[in-house]
Amino acid sequence: MNGQEKPTSPRSWLDTPEEELAQALRALGQPAYRLKQVQHWVYRQGVLDFAQMSDLPQELRAALAERFVVAPLRVVRTLASADGWTTKYLLELPGGVSPGRKRPLPPATVETVLMRYDPTDSQRGRWTACLSSQAGCAVGCPFCATGQVGFFRQLTAGEIVGQLLVLNAALRARGERVTNVVLMGQGEPLLNVAAVWQAIERIHDPAGLAIGARHITISTVGIVPAIEELAERQTPVRLAVSLHAPNDELRTQLVPINRRYPLAQLLAACQRFSARTGRRVTFEYALIAGVNDSVALARELVRRIAPIPCHVNLIPVNPTPGSHFQRPAPDQVRAFQAVLHTARIPTTVRVERGIDIFAGCGQLRAEEVSTRQAVAAGR
């Protein structure tokens, strides 16, 4: 093995372009097929430690481990819900020097959730990964724990795909893998499009994770130009739009970015997306007691979305420590749903799993931060 200069700190394998990986292997005197071999371990076998890649020569494994870290994430904490349906992972991203970036990335923490169902269409018996696209979020929806924390930084494509690989590594012992992906964790995916498109290609690529476009969903607060771009992309993933209100006045209170992309524009983009891709759009609607859960608002919602091929996902809001929002009584949820049913709009009420582990968006991280602050303050 001839000597290439060793870098001072290992680089993220996932964030290094393929040509550079191939070049690094060549510099280590390796044949061209090695790259495929390593990628197979990473993407197909869920192995994130070069030492375990048993068909590579020992000294190559050591040389790779000196130069690269496969997934730039560390599991800080996991929390399994009592019902066994959901496990939350709090992950630390060490940051550091990243290819194509002028400044080193600061460390950050994000959360990733592994669920035994698909929250967008209630399919059972699948493993769904709920991935974060940003550390924090700048949009500031008042009912959302991530929104309350604010924006910290963009994730790289490797940090997004790496979350999924951490889950696959955990499922490896059972001989299973993630089958569905939702970008519904922390952050607004369509405000980090470069990394998100790249991550989706890798998740979809037959030589990558090989997950079908129908099994990948982006949840967005409604960034209209990015929805237009998504409709034109080669990988037509599913689109979920966080609506939460049927008129601009109320929606601006719940989703402040509605000022920039008001409902008429957003719904027109959804209609075009559906026409272009032939897919239904999922509308997410967090039901908040006394705020957006009246039958009159349900009727207004029907009037606005009826022309769009869609599916509505009602989510009784998860109360967060920083807000007074409460979930409606079950009767109110049923009354709201009944209006949509009567209008023949397919509607599901999201079955809440893992409430005991803070399964709401961003809540594990918010809880961790407040625990750390309490520890720091000597409480």
Q: Which residues are catalytic?
A: 111, 361
By a kind-dependent CB cut-off of 5 to 8 A, residue 315 interacts, out of ligand SF4, ligand SAH, none, with ligand SAH
Stretch that binds ligand SAH, among 37-45, 98-106, 217-225, 260-268 (CB under 6 A): 217-225
φ, ψ of residue 286 to 5 degrees: the values are: -75, 120
> Would you count residue 144 as binding ligand SF4 (CB under 6 A)?
yes
> Would you count residue 110 as binding ligand SF4 (CB under 6 A)?
no
> Would you count residue 143 as binding ligand SAH (CB under 6 A)?
yes
> Would you count residue 220 as binding ligand SAH (CB under 6 A)?
yes
> Would you count residue 137 as binding ligand SF4 (CB under 6 A)?
yes
Give the contact letters, 161-200, x = binds to ligand SF4 (CB under 6 A), - = no. --------------------------xx------------
Stretch that binds ligand SAH, among 108-116, 154-162, 218-226, 369-377 (CB under 6 A): 218-226
d(CA 53, CA 61): 7
Site for ligand SAH in 59-118 (CB under 6 A): none
Among 131, 144, 203, 263, binds ligand SAH (CB under 6 A): 144
Contact 1, 29 (CB under 8 A): yes
Among 115, 184, 305, 366, binds ligand SAH (CB under 6 A): 184
Three-class SS of the chain: CCCCCCCCCCEECCCCCHHHHHHHHHHCCCCCHHHHHHHHHHHHCCCCCHHHCCCCCHHHHHHHHHHEECCCCEEEEEEECCCCCEEEEEEEECCECCCCCCCCECCEEEEEEEEEECCCCCCEEEEEEECCCEEECCCCCCCCHHHHHCEEEECCHHHHHHHHHHHHHHHHHHCCCCCEEEECCCCCHHHCHHHHHHHHHHHHCCCCCCCCHHHEEEEECCCHHHHHHHHHCCCCCEEEEECCCCCHHHHHHHCHHHHCCCHHHHHHHHHHHHHHHCCCEEEEEEECCCCCCCHHHHHHHHHHHCCCCEEEEEEECCCCCCCCCCCCCHHHHHHHHHHHHHCCCCEEECCCCCHHHCCCCCHHHHHHHHHHHHHHCCC
> Would you count residue 360 as binding ligand SAH (CB under 6 A)?
yes
Contact 28, 63 (CB under 8 A): yes
Size of the site for ligand SF4 (CB under 6 A): 12
By a kind-dependent CB cut-off of 5 to 8 A, residue 367 interacts, out of ligand SAH, ligand SF4, none, with none
Query: What minimum distance in Å lies between the beta carbon of 146 and ligand SAH?
Result: 7
Give the contact letters, 292-331, x = binds to ligand SF4 (CB under 6 A), - = no. ----------------------------------------
> Would you count residue 141 as binding ligand SF4 (CB under 6 A)?
yes
Stretch that binds ligand SF4, among 7-15, 115-123, 139-147, 310-318 (CB under 6 A): 139-147
The nearer residue to ligand SF4, 16 or 146, going by C-beta atoms, is 146
> Would you count residue 242 as binding ligand SAH (CB under 6 A)?
yes
Positive or negative torsion for Cα 92, 95, 98, 102: positive
By a kind-dependent CB cut-off of 5 to 8 A, residue 318 interacts, out of ligand SF4, ligand SAH, none, with ligand SAH
- Binding region for ligand SAH (CB under 6 A): 143-144, 184, 188, 219-221, 242, 284, 286, 315, 317-318, 320, 360-361
- Binding region for ligand SF4 (CB under 6 A): 137, 139-141, 144, 146-147, 187-188, 221, 242, 361
